[in-house]
């Protein structure tokens, strides 16, 4: 499988070249176009209960689409719903935790499972709900805005707003907390944050969907009736 990210970072699209008989697991709604002859199979990825967990806890589609190339190979183009960047990650000996909504696709050797990483709060709309990627192969991620990578040293700490997460290595220590006290939480415009502890790397997105909605919704026309 060869993946090329095109039109980054604002309106990215992933061009995926598949070898003969090779398949790719794709989040529902991410397919833009594909070559003739590629077969598509829709199923509850990982079995009914695992798929239910992904849908209910992870905010992801209940069903996943598997695209399989014909004998001559093929290609498929993928893109997320929101404008922003895409990122290709090679997983071999690590486990990645992916923020719900950032997962786009993965090769056949990757298992996607659900992991609860925190709780929704009265003070914030974001809950740190994560998908767990294990195995060997490629994972294609997307972000709202540009992707920013950070690498933390041993015992190095770093604080990130939950709405700006894309993915991070499981070996990173993390703790979900409110920022400041009650007054800060209510008045600062911030909600939940995550304190990361190294070593390890994390991918962040430069924009937050929740922040955008918080700006947009008050400006929408209201129904006076």
Model-level pTM? Answer: 0.82
Q: Enter the tokens of residue 24.
A: 């790719």
| Among 177, 163, 176, 165, CA closest to 212 | 163
Percent pLDDT > 70 in the chain is 78
Q: For the chain, give every domain's residue range.
A: 2-219
17/108 Cα distance (integer angstroms): 14
More confident residue, 43 or 37: 37
The tens digit of pLDDT for each residue in 48-73 reads: 455 455 455 444 455 689 999 999 99
| Among 119, 130, 208, 211, CA closest to 168 | 130
2-219 placed in CATH 3.60.160.10:
yes
23/40 Cα distance (integer angstroms): 9
């Amino acid at each position: 499988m060869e993946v090329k990210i095109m039109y980054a970072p604002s309106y990215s699209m992933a061009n995926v070249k598949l070898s003969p008989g090779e398949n790719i697991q794709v989040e529902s709604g991410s397919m833009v176009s594909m070559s003739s002859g590629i077969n598509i199979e829709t199923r509850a990825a990982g079995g009914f209960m695992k798929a239910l967990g992904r849908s209910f806890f992870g905010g992801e589609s209940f069903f996943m689409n598997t695209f399989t190339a014909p004998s001559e190979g093929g290609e498929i183009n993928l893109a997320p719903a929101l404008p922003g960047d895409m990122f290709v990650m090679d997983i071999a000996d690590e486990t990645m935790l992916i923020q719900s909504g950032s997962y786009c696709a993965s090769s056949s050797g990757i298992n996607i499972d659900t992991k609860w990483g925190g709780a929704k709060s009265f003070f914030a709309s974001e809950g740190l709900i994560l998908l767990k990627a294990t195995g060997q192969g490629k994972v294609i991620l997307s972000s709202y805005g540009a992707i920013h990578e950070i690498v933390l040293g041993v015992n190095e700490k770093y604080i990130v707003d939950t709405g700006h997460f894309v993915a991070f290595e499981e070996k990173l220590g993390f703790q979900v907390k409110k920022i400041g006290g009650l007054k800060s939480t209510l008045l600062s415009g911030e909600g939940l944050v995550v304190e990361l502890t190294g070593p390890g790397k994390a991918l962040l997105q430069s924009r937050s969907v929740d922040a955008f909605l918080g700006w947009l919704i008050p400006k929408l026309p209201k129904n006076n009736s």
